[in-house]
Structure 1
Amino acid sequence: MSNPNTQALSDAGVSIWLDDLSRERLSSGSLAALIEEKNVVGVTTNPSIFHAALQDGESYAAQVSELAAAGMDAEQAVFKITSDDVAAACDLFAPVAAASNGVDGRVSIEVDPRLARKTAETIAEAKELHALVNRENVLIKIPATVEGLEAIAETLAAGISVNVTLIFSLERYRAVINAFMVGLESAKANGHDLSKLHSVASFFVSRVDTEIDARLNAIGTDAALALRGKAGVANAVLAYQVYEESFSSERWSVLAAAGANAQRPLWASTGVKDPALPDTLYVTELCAPNTVNTMPEKTLLATADHAVVTGDTVTGAYAKSNAVLDELAALGVSYNDVVAKLEVEGLEKFEASWNELLTDLAASLAKAAGK
């Protein structure tokens, strides 16, 4: 039986994806149970998630021994291990993908974060990952850096579905949507079936509050403190407004007529960091049709336990959200400075996790090889 709270979210047009994957989660049946009981219809991964997963050496010991015997180095091994997990998850979600015509049942795998500023290398690795996983319901995850925009378009042009990640600003989100449409226009010209291409745009939420609230605390006035915990939701609400405007344009109508699927907004970084805020804030306040909310398990369980889902909380909140950003600007909080800092930090965190993963895996391979 589905949980009533997660079912209410699904009924409101929100696709629930789990922001986690591991070999243990697959083998134990816990992911299958979340599909059955908590309306989970997809999975996202990132370098930090895989680094945490591989800390459980027991689940991967047999494969690490095999890869060591095959003479693989850490970089080769990490692609093999992570793509195997993603392929297995894609197989688990295959019935969901079939039932939703490919809209859901999606599993994301990210290109090497060290390539985020390298367009050609990102395109090449996106194609390599797609071939390695070799499942129709995989999404290749590409960061929304300036250099990533062309990579997003070219990957879609090659007929590969994409999850665009690390979006913090409304300006960059508009550029991502443009890259998506450029990619689809090229895919159409290349003879690809647009109905088979899917994409989500991962707009990050909690990190915006963490950074802005620190600045508000430093200002310390009553007006500043009253705005804490409001910027992340306001920013995402205005992103949805951009989505509505962009996907009602004449340009989009031409692609839609050719069978294209709209790129859905995906709310990422939805685990609430501030204990003073409701732990389901980024779920209940970002409920809108045709969205994805990818949740860490803690947030998913909190949602299932006590979230109050009241339907669409987004489309009526545009004016209020604009007012929040205006008030922040009046206090001297620079939106552009915040989002630029968050992009740099986000890339640094993923690159650090990736490097730690490679270091740990190299040690495990050497041990398995008896070195």
Structure 2
Amino acid sequence: MSDRLSALADAGVSIWLDDLSRERIETGNLAALVQDSSVVGVTTNPSIFAAALAEGERYDAQVRELVAEGTDVDRAVFALTTTDVRQAADVLKPVADATGGKDGWVSIEVPPGLAFKTDETAEAAQELWKAVDRHNVMIKIPGTTEGLPAITQTLGSGISVNVTLIFGLPRYRQVMEAYVAGLELARDNGHDLSTIHSVASFFVSRVDTEIDKRLEAAGATDLQGKAGVANARLAYQAFEEFFTGPRWEALAAAGANRQRPLWASTGVKNPDYRDTMYVADLVVEDTVNTMPEKTMQAFADHGEVVGDAVRPHYDDARAVLQAVADAGVDYDDVIAQLEKEGVDKFVTSWDELLETVQGQLDGAKG
């Protein structure tokens, strides 16, 4: 067991692996990470599935079965990815049982092309939930304007949700509002609120990547590499402030769980930055950090946990974002661009995934 990862977990950070493949599952690698590296959850996205299916021969048998059944490429992707998530959920089930459902989750995303379509997103979430057929699966829904009512509707039907692609503080507050509205709907629909969980995936490194470019152009390089962490720290402050008061207390009394912040995009994009900065600088209780394995290994090797790295720094975080604004960087424009780019990147990855699977189907036919 990694002492550094154990210390991270002891500080209240749930370590989720931002990767999945059938090879990880079938070789026992995922189970080993759960046992030895404090991994208590898994997140996936179209990029992850595209890489896994492009490289893995372990999908060949199922691909041949799908060809024999006459399955088209869209349904083949659905079958292959939901199979992986179902099997991973089985690996994580003991964690879900041991933590009372706090952890042990595996996330699978609705097709990214639906990010701006409310009804279709909600329908896709229901279909994924039924196909995986495991209680410890979270359906990932983008936190776009159109995604917000789909989030509420999905939660209202008793399905746990991972809200993804959150970059800015105003949108994050809307996501928390959508979550509470979903819990109220679930309560009215007769669901047990204690069984519904959610995380809000707040992206970190991509914020620095975009803001750093603009700071470079503005000649304010002394501020580079600071905005992503500052933004996330203020998101945690918003989380603390939101889940209080009579409205939340009524839901909590009915068994509701708070929607935890999940730090996403925590692999460092700039090689000049510390490779553990988006983990070490965001250590605080009641959070999730979903990491690529490279980042997890780096933290296991030399990451440090030095108390609460978030709450004492709210004033500093506000000062950083103010300095960035004073340098001429438009925060709202940055966030809007990142959301659009985030959806576009996932759509591109989804298209690559479809192309890869179509090639496999064609090869199996031959």
For the residues of structure 2 that align with 1:19 and 1:311, how far apart are their CA atoms?
Answer: 24
Does 1:312 pair with 2:308?
yes
For the residues of structure 2 that align with 1:355 and 1:251, how far apart are their CA atoms?
Answer: 42
Does 1:241 pair with 2:237?
yes
- Using the TM superposition, give the Cα deviation of residue 80 of structure 1 relative to its aligned residue in structure 2, in angstroms: 0.4
CA deviation map 1:2-28 (0-9, x unaligned): 211001111100000000000011111
Does 1:278 pair with 2:278?
no
SS at match of 1:55: helix
Task: Look up the match of 1:369.
Answer: 365
Report 1:181-192 matches (<5 A). Answer: 181-192=180-191
For the residues of structure 1 that align with 2:278 and 2:363, how far apart are their CA atoms?
Answer: 43
CA deviation map 1:187-224 (0-9, x unaligned): 0000000000000000000000000011111122xxx1
- Cα contact 2:218–2:328 (8 A) shared by 1: no
CA deviation map 1:97-143 (0-9, x unaligned): 00011110000000000000000000001000000000000000000
Report 1:80-119 matches (<5 A). Answer: 80-119=79-118
For the residues of structure 2 that align with 1:212 and 1:57, how far apart are their CA atoms?
Answer: 36
CA deviation map 1:227-284 (0-9, x unaligned): 1100000000000000000012221111000100000000000000111110000000
For the residues of structure 2 that align with 1:326 and 1:351, how far apart are their CA atoms?
Answer: 33
Task: Look up the match of 1:326.
Answer: 322
For the residues of structure 2 that align with 1:359 and 1:120, how far apart are their CA atoms?
Answer: 26
- Name structure 2 gaps, 5 residues minimum: none
Letter matched to residue 184 of structure 1: L
For the residues of structure 1 that align with 2:27 and 2:264, how far apart are their CA atoms?
Answer: 26
Task: Look up the match of 2:263.
Answer: 267
Letter matched to residue 351 of structure 1: V
For the residues of structure 2 that align with 1:97 and 1:16, how far apart are their CA atoms?
Answer: 13
Over 6 Å off, 4+ runs: none
For the residues of structure 2 that align with 1:96 and 1:335, how far apart are their CA atoms?
Answer: 39
Does 1:30 pair with 2:29?
yes
Report 1:172-321 matches (<5 A). Answer: 172-220=171-219, 224-321=220-317
Letter matched to residue 316 of structure 1: P
Letter matched to residue 157 of structure 2: A
Task: Look up the match of 2:148.
Answer: 149
For the residues of structure 1 that align with 2:125 and 2:168, how far apart are their CA atoms?
Answer: 24
- Name structure 1 gaps, 5 residues minimum: none
- Cα contact 1:20–1:43 (8 A) shared by 2: yes
- Using the TM superposition, give the Cα deviation of residue 59 of structure 1 relative to its aligned residue in structure 2, in angstroms: 1.5
- Using the TM superposition, give the Cα deviation of residue 311 of structure 1 relative to its aligned residue in structure 2, in angstroms: 2.0
For the residues of structure 2 that align with 1:312 and 1:251, how far apart are their CA atoms?
Answer: 28
CA RMSD of aligned residues (A): 0.6
- Among all aligned residue pairs of Structure 1 and Structure 2, give the percentage whose two residues are the same amino acid: 61
- Cα contact 2:165–2:202 (8 A) shared by 1: yes
SS at match of 2:311: coil
Higher mean C-alpha deviation, range 360-369 or range 207-216: 360-369
CA deviation map 1:51-81 (0-9, x unaligned): 0000124121111111011100110000100
Task: Look up the match of 1:18.
Answer: 17
- Cα contact 2:179–2:259 (8 A) shared by 1: yes
- Cα contact 1:9–1:311 (8 A) shared by 2: no
- Using the TM superposition, give the Cα deviation of residue 308 of structure 1 relative to its aligned residue in structure 2, in angstroms: 1.0
Letter matched to residue 280 of structure 1: T
- Cα contact 1:23–1:53 (8 A) shared by 2: yes
- Using the TM superposition, give the Cα deviation of residue 45 of structure 1 relative to its aligned residue in structure 2, in angstroms: 0.2
SS at match of 1:108: strand
For the residues of structure 2 that align with 1:92 and 1:308, how far apart are their CA atoms?
Answer: 28
- Alignment TM-score, normalising by the size of structure 1: 0.98
SS at match of 2:273: coil
The number of aligned residues is 366
- Alignment TM-score, normalising by the size of structure 2: 0.99
- Cα contact 2:23–2:58 (8 A) shared by 1: yes
For the residues of structure 2 that align with 1:76 and 1:261, how far apart are their CA atoms?
Answer: 34
- Cα contact 2:4–2:305 (8 A) shared by 1: yes
1:348 is aligned, of 344, 347, 358, to 344
For the residues of structure 1 that align with 2:84 and 2:245, how far apart are their CA atoms?
Answer: 38
For the residues of structure 2 that align with 1:58 and 1:44, how far apart are their CA atoms?
Answer: 22
